[in-house]
Amino acid sequence: MFDLFHSLSLSLALLLLFPFFFFISIAAQSNDTNFPGCFSYRCANINISYPFWRMDSETPTQYCGYEGFGINCSNNGEEDVPIAYLGDDSYYVHNISYDPKWIALVDYDVSPVVPPDVCPRVRHNIDLGDMPFNFWGQNVNLSFHFNCTGVPYFAHEIKCLSNPTNKSCVHSLNEEPANFNWTEYSCDEAVLTTVFDVFSSINALEPEFPRALRQGFELNWGRTEDCEKCEDSGGRCGYNSNTREHMCFCSGGKTTTGHCNGTFVKT
């Protein structure tokens, strides 16, 4: 395995000769020589490694990694911005830990890469769909209601999103009585989201929710069912979007639609 220093000094040597090579090799982190079809990258300060994969650099039809785990390393003109997708929504990738397995995400609309909004307005729920993700860590489910005719007693009015006729509010889902009927409040829209519990108290929800939204939430991940056979045989899962087939990248470089010949070794 190449370490960063060697790969950097190699890059530096190449820079003098071939500026183009420098550009390519600095984008890459150490690749696992056992899996020549599986690449690791660095995007901003995030490690993108299996089961995540970099969307904009893999061959467009085939990748080594889990379905839906693609990370778009886009550039906003100033810096690289790692973006993950859940459903149709974009999330800024704050951090990834491979052991234990978790990914820290921030709703892109309220993330540090967009101009800060003193009064952020969430636009969508977190849609995990059938992805193998679970919320991880100490979190709070925040329920937002916008443009209502009033604020129920257990909710906290968001003053900067309210006016004398239309009220917006936030509350922790735990504060809401069972079977509460929102009909009489005639809200325009309701959004449910999950954040790290960074609140000093439940009464501080209203002044502190913008900060909580910017810190985001963590998900841990498990394996997809299609993937188990491949990984248990020592391989890494992938997908070919052309043939719509699940792929298995085996140690040594073979790629199969089945599984490898080895047994699972935890790396």
Ligand X SMILES: *[C@@H]1O[C@H](CO)[C@@H](O)[C@H](O)[C@H]1NC(C)=O
* Contact residues for ligand X, defined by CB under 6 A: 2, 7, 24-25, 28-31, 39, 45, 47, 49, 55-56, 72, 74, 83, 95, 97, 121, 135, 139-141, 146-147, 161, 163, 165-166, 168, 181, 183-184, 188, 194, 250, 254, 256, 260-261
How far is residue 128 from each of residues 189, 214, 215, measured CA to CA in Å?
Answer: 20, 19, 18
Least distance to ligand X, CB of residue 203, Å: 17
- Residue 259 tokens, joined: 């599984």
Output 217 or 224, the one with its CB closest to ligand X: 217
Q: What are phi and psi of 223, to 5 degrees?
A: -95, 150
Least distance to ligand X, CB of residue 70, Å: 7
Least distance to ligand X, CB of residue 25, Å: 5
Output 219 or 224, the one with its CB closest to ligand X: 219
Output 25 or 34, the one with its CB closest to ligand X: 25
Kind plus residue range of the DSSP H or E element containing 8: helix 4-17
Output 59 or 203, the one with its CB closest to ligand X: 59
Least distance to ligand X, CB of residue 49, Å: 6
Closest CA to 37 of 10, 65, 11: 65
- Residue 140 tokens, joined: 């709070």
Q: What are phi and psi of 61, to 5 degrees?
A: -95, -25
Output 165 or 263, the one with its CB closest to ligand X: 165
Kind plus residue range of the DSSP H or E element containing 82: strand 80-86
Question: What span, in angstroms and rounded, lies between the C-alpha atoms of 168 and 147?
Answer: 5
Least distance to ligand X, CB of residue 183, Å: 4
